[in-house]
Chains A and B, each alone.
Chain A
């Protein structure tokens, strides 16, 4: 089964509004990452937050991590039509001495101009 579950599955907002996506996971992690995927393309890394961090910012992106609740959120402020894409969380965790990156099911974001 997949490590991460995201909600909502789909989100439609107006340009200029904020978009919030949530990710829950099941086991302990080293870090949690967020990726973006434009239709039919490969995934692009957005931001990484370590397990000992609670909040991180990068431009219009804000990520929070609550390890006690095993959850994370991605906030995109002042959204633009170009932000329309699918967003995935991924957890990096050690298993048998090696790392695995496990992805969630994703949130499809549509920003209306």
Chain B
């Protein structure tokens, strides 16, 4: 049972480049979410989804897109990376409103 799997673990981008952070879960959770973690800021919610085809914005959605075509996958897209998006990104899933299961994180640096 893999739980929540995030790829890649590390990524370096140049300003203006695009990329997709992948997140997959094998627990049949309807709820999936993306957070970013910056020093001293805790975790801030970017986008979340309550099921396939349903997504909504969190606290800091600007600069990020998401889609949910299947229950298992919830990719996070950066269309034009900026240095302010340098952060550690976590994907999490759950049966709402229960406990969240987290991936190990994706560390992104934008130069």
**Given known A-B contacts A42-B105, A43-B90, A103-B35, A90 and B100 have beta carbons under 8 A apart:** yes
CB of A101 within 8 A of CB of B59, answer no
CB of A98 within 8 A of CB of B56, answer yes
CB distance from B25 to the nearest CB of A (A): 13
Q: Is A69 an interface residue (CB 8 A)?
A: no
CB of A88 within 8 A of CB of B42, answer yes
Binary per-residue interface labels of chain B (91-110) against chain A in the complex, 1 for a CB within 8 Å, 0 otherwise: 01010111111111100000
CB distance from B21 to the nearest CB of A (A): 14
CB of B42 within 8 A of CB of A48, answer no
A94 and chain B: residue at smallest CB distance = B97
Which chain B residues numbered 14 to 56 have a C-beta less than 8 Å away from chain A? Answer: 31, 33, 35, 40-45, 48, 50, 54, 56
CB of A33 within 8 A of CB of B59, answer no
Binary per-residue interface labels of chain A (86-99) against chain B in the complex, 1 for a CB within 8 Å, 0 otherwise: 00101010001011
B44 and chain A: residue at smallest CB distance = A2
**Given known A-B contacts A43-B90, A43-B100, A45-B100, A102 and B50 have beta carbons under 8 A apart:** no
Interface centre among B35, B50, B97 (most CB of A within 10 A): B97
Excluding A92-B96, A99-B50, A101-B92, 20 further A-B contacts by CB distance (< 8 Å) are A2-B41, A2-B59, A40-B105, A41-B105, A42-B102, A42-B104, A43-B90, A43-B92, A45-B100, A45-B101, A48-B99, A98-B48, A98-B56, A100-B45, A100-B58, A101-B100, A102-B45, A103-B42, A103-B45, A105-B40
6 contacts between A and B (CB under 8 A): A2-B42, A42-B104, A43-B43, A92-B97, A98-B50, A101-B100
A residues neighboring B (CB under 8 Å): 1-2, 4, 30-31, 33, 35, 40-45, 48, 88, 90, 92, 96, 98-106
